[in-house]
Amino acid sequence: MEALTILLTVFFCFYYIINIWLIFRAILSMEKELSQPQGKNSDSYPHITIIIPAYNEEHDIVQTVRTILLQNYPNFAVLVVNDGSNDSTLKKLVAAYDLKPESMRYKDYIKTKPVKALYYNKSYDKLRVIDKDNGGKSDAINTGLNIATESEYICVIDADVCLEKNALYYVVQPIVNCRADNVVAAGGNIRIGIGSDITNGTVHNLATPGSLLILFQILEYIRSFSLFRIGWNAANAVPLLSGAFGVFKRADVIHSGGYQKFSKGEDMEMTLRLHERYLNRKEQYKVVQLVRPLCFTGAPSSLKELAGQRTRWQVGLLSGLMVYRHMVGRPRYGVLGMVTLPYLLLFEAASPFLEIIGYLLIILNFFVLHHSPAVFSWLIVSIIGGSLFVNLAALLTEALVVKLYTRPLDLLKLLVVGLLEPFGYHQLNQYWKIKATFQYYRNIHLKSTWQPPKRD
């Protein structure tokens, strides 16, 4: 029993050692990004089509499009793909922008469900709306890829997000500043906008809400987007660019076969596919996660909705690891195959089970076995103490480097949440991950991620 406890302690200590390395690399990457001068001749900026796949988004779609059209970027178009919505998503767009049916030439570079109509108004010359039969999110994005023939890059965003007005400008900086690096994909910094004052892409006041559940999620987003994902930049081993806001080289996505309909996590699947494509060909490329381009989203407001979201996320992770399991532990795939994917397999997929075993051992020893207390104390420290350390490191980085939340009250609220998170909320997330794992491996596949949770 003590031997198993020691092994688990070593496992979690190793996990936090890797996290310390990721935090250190993330800070260096962010400081480099934030210190670089911005701005080049507008002729150097690639044309980008922003693809917004939409299914039953009548409440958010008009405001989302209005915000996107205000982007401070010289060469872009907006393409909304209505994926057979059965609400008034299409009607609201047509009415808001006085859109009229237009003829079009459509070539199936990637096979998709039939396209029914294109809507356009020359007064809003950057905007086009496609109406098509329902085929799912991946199919809607592929339709956008087929149509965006004038663009070198495409930007995929969710239909219920708000981009900061300079987000597109910031996310292409590594593309225009380092053409020799061949940046094939870049991701923005996703943050929860609840509680903040954001109007048409302009952030007037970034603040935290009063809801404890939302605050926990804000802390998670800070950890994920300001630390761990950026930490993989230096090794060119970013495993996932969020589907809420990511820019991809269109030709590479098409040549890779487009977004796969079978995928339960299309964002991770596409990111890994691009890595695999270039690593197999031994060609120069980069996939980067950035901190400056901001994208604000909502968040589940109840435990039931949050459980559904986290279950989908874990199923997406497991699906990605299953599809690309051939890359795990293979030197030809560099740091991604030798470190990043094993990290995800051990510390994201398997860790919830090992953590539960650790808790059971602690409880069993405390009430029944009464073995050496020092051994079990170290296990507690490795699980709880390590989690506290990561939370505090994330908040220090937020306060000193990223500097999005600047009010002392907001930082204090996040500090309190960071201290509370390992005692209940963290374990609840681990339970959802375990439940999702059993669902996935029993082949009880979730319905399309088109059914989003209710958001505040």
Residue 454's pLDDT is what? 47
Residue by residue, what is the 3-state secondary structure of the chain? CHHHHHHHHHHHHHHHHHHHHHHHHHHHHHHHHHHCCCCCCHHHCCCEEEEEEECCCCCCHHHHHHHHHCCCCCCEEEEEEEECCCCCHHHHHHHHHCCEEECCCCCCCCCCCCEEEEEECHHHCCEEEEEECCCCHHHHHHHHHHHCCCCCEEEEECCCCEECCCHHHHHCHHHHHCHHHCEEEEEEEEEECCCCEEECCEEEECCCCCCHHHHHHHHHHHHHHHHHHHHCHHHCCCCCCCCCEEEEEHHHHHHCCCCCCCCCCHHHHHHHHHHHHHHHHCCCCEEEEEEEEEEEECCECCHHHHHHHHHHHHHHHHHHHHHCHHHCCCHHHHHHHHHHHHHHHHHHHHHHHHHHHHHHHHHHHHHHHCCCHHHHHHHHHHHHHHHHHHHHHHHHHHHHHHCCCCCHHHHHHHHHHHHHCCCCHHHHHHHHHHHHHHHHHCCCCCCCCCCCCCEC
Work out the pLDDT band at 371, boundaries 50, 70, 90.
Answer: low
For the chain, what are the domain ranges? 1-46+152-456
**Tens digit of pLDDT for each residue in 203-262?**
888 899 999 999 999 999 999 988 889 999 989 999 999 989 999 999 999 999 999 887
Give CA 120 to chain center in angstroms.
Answer: 31
Mean pLDDT, rounded, of the chain: 89
The answer on pLDDT for 456 being more than 70 is no
Per-residue pLDDT reduced to its tens digit, 109-164: 999 999 999 999 999 999 999 999 999 999 999 999 999 999 999 999 999 999 99
Query: Which has the closest alpha carbon to 221: 294, 159, 275, 154?
Result: 294
What pTM was estimated for this model as a whole? 0.90
**Whole-number Å distance between alpha carbons of 273 and 253:** 9
What mean pLDDT comes out for the span 70-92? 95
- pLDDT band for position 374 (50/70/90)? low
Ramachandran region, residue 257 (left: φ > 0; alpha: ψ -120 to 50; beta: rest):
left
